[in-house]
Amino acid sequence: MAKKSTVINKAREDFESQLEREVNGAIKLKMTVSWERIEEVFHKVMNVFIAEVELPGFRKGKVPREKAEAQIDKTKVYEKVVQEILPFAYKKAVETHKIKPVIYPDFGVEKAKEGEDWVFNALTCESPVVELGEYVEKIKQKVGNKRPKETKEALKDEEKDEWEQKVLETLLEVVSVEIPDLLIKAEANHRLSQLIAKTERLGVSMPAYLNSIKKTEEELKAEYAKEARRAIETEVVLNEIFVKEGLKVSDKEVDKIIEVSGDEKIRQQLSDSPEQRAAIRRMLSRRAAFNFVLASI
């Protein structure tokens, strides 16, 4: 059953928010903003629009208010009001309910009538909760005890890959993790957007691409959703193992990856970018976690 909670901002009763957790992992926020606050922002936005109005016989910004307002489309003013109010209302709701969204929310306007409180909706989700349990022992039970060292060293590359793939699949089977549908959808859409951009650069339309691989759009989306689920499961499970087992990734390890990445210009860009260094660190963290699993069985 979905759970709801309602909190009113007591400092100024301009914002009220309700949180509902859906069974599919989604979090629905219902945010009510008082008409007084809407009106306050409306007047501020209207003043900005008025300052840009020009009419014969008047300098810009000096047009009488009544004449200026007659030239302004109120719909555009209210659109700007929503753009200013909605992010703030969402931020207040997130802080109030102490949630940590991991995707950009889907926003909606439920009610927006002059003279009445406005109501907005936001749909988001948090990072999946992972329960590892006795995952090492469970993996051993399913794939057998650790292979002799000399046997592992003699494995061919393809055999090694098969062994590691089997361990990874077993790991995902023995742990408990529920991936919110919204997170899967967001990742699948991201992958699809990348594909569309790639085909456009090649001058190939999406219908033509689908015809070439003999798949419908629905089949491709289903395939991407499956891949997205697997990728997210792998990432969050390995991240949890990394934290639980107290593993570390040093700056030297990050630098080592950068040193073998492309030419000098690319290496410098990676080294100077905190975001790129963080991405490399996350990749190394997941690899360290998986190596820990392999060494433990």
Domain-wise residue ranges, the chain:
3-124, 130-296
Pairwise CA distance, residues 127 & 185, whole Å: 14
pLDDT value for 266 = 85
What pLDDT does residue 160 have?
Answer: 81
Residue 268: its pLDDT value, please?
86
Integer Cα distance of 128 and 232 in angstroms: 9
**Residue predicted with more confidence, 142 or 12:** 142
> Quick one: what percent of the chain has pLDDT higher than 90?
69
Asked if residues 89 and 31 have their Cβ atoms less than 8 Å apart, the reply is yes
Residue bearing the bigger pLDDT, 118 or 262: 118
What are the angstrom distances between the C-alpha of 51 and each of 60, 68, 74?
7, 9, 15
pLDDT at position 154 over 80: no
- pLDDT tens per residue across span 235-286: 999 999 999 999 999 999 999 998 888 778 888 888 889 999 999 999 999 9
pLDDT of residue 155: 57
- Does the pLDDT at position 59 exceed 60? yes
Token representation of residue 93? 């709701």
Summarize the confidence of residues 20-48 as an average pLDDT. Answer: 93
Q: CATH top-level class for 3-124? A: alpha beta
Q: Give me the pLDDT at residue 172, please.
A: 96
Reported pTM: 0.76
Between 1 and 207, the more confident residue is 207
Q: What is the pLDDT of residues 171-223, one digit of tens each?
A: 999 999 989 999 999 999 999 999 999 999 999 999 999 999 999 999 999 99
What are phi and psi for residue 72, nearest 5 degrees? -105, 135
**Amino acid 39: pLDDT:** 94
Q: What is the pLDDT of residues 73-113, one digit of tens each?
A: 999 999 999 999 999 999 999 999 999 999 999 999 999 99
> What is the amino acid identity at position 211?
N
Instruction: Calculate what percentage of the chain has a pLDDT beyond 70.
Output: 92
So what's the pLDDT on residue 11? Answer: 40
Confidence of residue 57 (pLDDT cuts 50, 70, 90): confident
Average pLDDT, the chain: 88
CATH of domain 130-296: 1.10.3120.10
Other C-beta atoms closer than 10 Å to the C-beta of 9 total 16
Q: Is the pLDDT of residue 152 over 70?
A: no
Mean pLDDT, residues 145-171 taken together:
73
Q: What confidence category does residue 2 fall into, taking pLDDT thresholds of 50, 70 and 90?
A: low
Output 69 or 287, whichever has higher pLDDT. 287
Instruction: Report d(CA 19, CA 123) in Å as an integer.
Output: 10
First to last CA, the chain: 39
